[in-house]
Amino acid sequence: MQGFTRHHMSQCSTRGVGTAAVAIALVAVLAGCTNPASDAETGDGDVVTLTIAMEAEQAGGNPAFDAVLDNFDATHDDIVIKRVYPPLDQYETLLNTQVQGGNAPDLFAAVAGSGSNLSVLRLGKAGKLMDLSDQTWADQVLPAAYRPLYEVDGALYGLPLAYNAAVPIYRTDLFDQAGITPPTTKQELLDDCRDSLDRLGKPFMAMPGAEQYGIGYFAAIVATTVVLGENPQWNQQHESGEVTFSGSSEWQEALQYIVDMNDAGCFPETAVADTFETAPAQAANGDTLSFGPGEASAVPNLQAINPDASFDVFALPGLTEATTVMPMSPIRAVVASATTKHKEAVLEVLDFFATTDQQVAFASGGNYIPVSAVGTGETGNATLTGISDFLAHPERTSPNINLMWPSADSYTVMQQQVQGLLSGQKSVNDILQAMDAAWPQ
């Protein structure tokens, strides 16, 4: 974690605080470390102090946001930005508590769509966010297909800076040793799993199966490529009541995909107990050939574990090559609290974030996909070459399937129960029926 920089800009983290105490710790951080000082306290009536909150990465900071905020700090003397870094696995719960209590930071990172309690659409509809529709960049930063993730009745509530692809990360040298190439169909994936065991004695994919967020997110990745690959209109049909989870052949195929991977030996025997600490290390150190659920932005984390290894990414294949859809979503949007007392300063920060130079800086800082790469496939990043064809043809990409769901309840149930597919304690139908029951009536 970086220390103090110019203008005494502080970076505060709650990492290392026990789970039971972390909520209290975050309140203390927001109150003591980050609340804007009054003009009288600063002694300078021309300086405004803002607070921005975003989730901490594994190293305790957030390199992508830091890249832009460092640039802002270097060019603005009249606005001081203080940064708060709650842990990733607690960020949404803790920030949502602050938002609902009227104590939100001036700016914070929120989730695209409506599938989370800290999502742009849910907070926008509830009047918790500032409408950004009048900003000069409002009509330029989003392709039409992604605007529904940020707009409510024509009002824009978030500024996305880059995309992240939900893709497995693999060791290119180990693929070469095993004589395998990135799979383009489900059957090829299962074949690669068997070949990995037969030729190298290594499981194909590390999986943090003990983490609901990990195995649940992987299930969402599979569902996006299988369900939307086979039926692009599934979400709309579900919303209109035409289909259900348990009655959908596409969802049956999606969860069976995970069962088939497990049966083919794709995962280590320890997968049900592996975490976000152990699973990435398995892939980085060569105990497995790949890591899933991966994201393009996580490549530097694995590279840091093993600097001598080489990595690339591949799109998790659908049932066929033609129906494979790569899950790609705008990463957390920057949103502005409707209760901020410094609207003009907040908008000045957002205008800075929206410039092309800062979007590129953001993407580089987090190994994300710059907005300019969508439609061209040109990322300028060697660790993203495996998905360049999907980026060049954005019709082969889709936001994660759950992002437009009106509630997080069904997704939460999937997160909680999908581990049972690995342990044998749950069936595909068990989980899909539970997801149906959790869907808001």
> pLDDT by residue for the chain (441 residues), tens digit each?
222 222 223 445 443 444 344 444 455 445 444 443 333 334 445 899 999 999 987 667 888 899 999 999 999 999 999 999 898 888 988 999 999 999 999 999 998 888 788 999 999 999 999 999 999 999 887 777 778 889 999 999 999 888 999 999 999 999 999 999 999 999 999 999 999 999 999 999 999 999 988 999 999 999 999 999 999 999 999 999 999 999 999 999 999 999 999 999 999 999 999 999 999 999 999 999 999 978 898 999 999 999 999 999 999 999 999 999 999 988 878 999 999 999 999 999 999 999 888 988 888 888 888 877 888 888 878 888 999 999 999 889 998 999 889 888 999 999 999 999 999 999 999 999 999 999 987
Domain 165-329+378-438 superfamily per CATH: Periplasmic binding protein-like II (3.40.190.10)
Q: In this structure, what is the dihedral angle of CA atoms 366, 367, 370, 375, given to the nearest 10 degrees?
A: -150
Which tokens is 205 given? 């994919």
What residues does each domain of the chain span?
6-161+331-354, 165-329+378-438
DSSP 84: E
Count CB-CB contacts under 10 A for residue 304: 12
DSSP, res 56: B
Global pTM?
0.75
H helices of 7-119, in order, are 19-28, 39-42, 63-75, 88-100
What is the DSSP secondary structure assignment for residue 157, as one 8-state letter? Answer: -
For the domain bounded by 6-161+331-354, which CATH number is listed? 3.40.190.10
Domains 6-161+331-354 and 165-329+378-438 share a fold: yes
Bin 368: left if φ > 0, else alpha if -120 < ψ < 50, else beta: beta
DSSP 3-state of 370: strand
